[in-house]
Structure 1
């Protein structure tokens, strides 16, 4: 039986070892907002090797019972993703996450994932605010973001999408979830 309130741990993505799993996740039709639908295995491997070599961008798996069950990318918005589109504050960290498609969805799983991700990010005392920029059409992630305390700021034009720039402070996260970090 799958727990509805799982405990997660985190580990760095190993681009060579994990490319097959990542490829199956990011090319699935339900991962359309990840924008890697047509990626070949080598493309995914190369993309995550670039992230692994980048001091401003990190990819982690969220693990349950030692098995990867979601992906998180953490980035510095002063150097990646939002350069020239937003004035970063000290303590800002950017975040993307992906839960893979499943034939046996568990009610509340994705919300528990984003809650765990936010708690994980805020365990770093240097993080004051989490920044996200999901596609404006991704209504499901907007609802999840709101559930953990994100406040939309404005729509921005990125090269690959129109995005909803949103922020969540440690205090907003606590107010929305009751999770103290």
Structure 2
């Protein structure tokens, strides 16, 4: 995915946008998110603020991995990462195809959840990825135990392929083509996207 900012309007929940992450100015915010108990599958629970800064500085320096801050009505609301699975995360674990892009996302913890919000976030993330015409398929590798994200992935068109063994987890390798995403969100109230 390019590092161009992206925005869309959700009919029910308003404006969503994605901008490149600034590892230094955004690190304190991210630290609170990634160390929150609800972010256990992000595997950064014990990270210090300095650890988080270093992690995202390394991503910023990589040509194969990018981090973005997601906004809802102008306020920080989620974290998004894209990566080239031929070089990051999935090297030698599957056969990458031209146009593949890997994705991670994390919704900011909240004490006042909003119905449909996480679905709107993943729809925004997917629309942002597919806004790049070079992207043909999104690849994800969530922890097999993360049943909530598996269900959410299915809503936007992901199809599980198989379990894979990564050093830090057993993951469910899943794919979503542009056509599968468009079909999944077509006619869904509040999920209008144009890509």
| TM, length-normalised to structure 1 | 0.96
SS at match of 2:13: coil
The higher-RCO structure (CA 8 Å, 6+ apart) is 2
Residue 118 (1) aligns with residue 109 (2): no
Partner residue, 1:44: 52
Residue 60 (1) aligns with residue 68 (2): yes
Counterparts of 1:95 and 1:4, CA distance in 2 = 25
Gaps of 5+ in 2: 1-10, 187-192
Partner residue, 1:70: 78
SS at match of 2:14: coil
Partner residue, 1:15: 23
Partner residue, 2:159: 151
Q: 1:83 aligns with which of 81, 86, 91?
A: 91
Residue 140 (1) aligns with residue 160 (2): no
SS at match of 1:17: coil
1:71 Cα deviation after fit: 0.4
| TM, length-normalised to structure 2 | 0.90
How big is the alpha-carbon RMSD for the aligned residues of Structure 1 and Structure 2? 1.1
Gaps of 5+ in 1: none
Counterparts of 2:133 and 2:17, CA distance in 1 = 18
* Corresponding pairs, count: 179
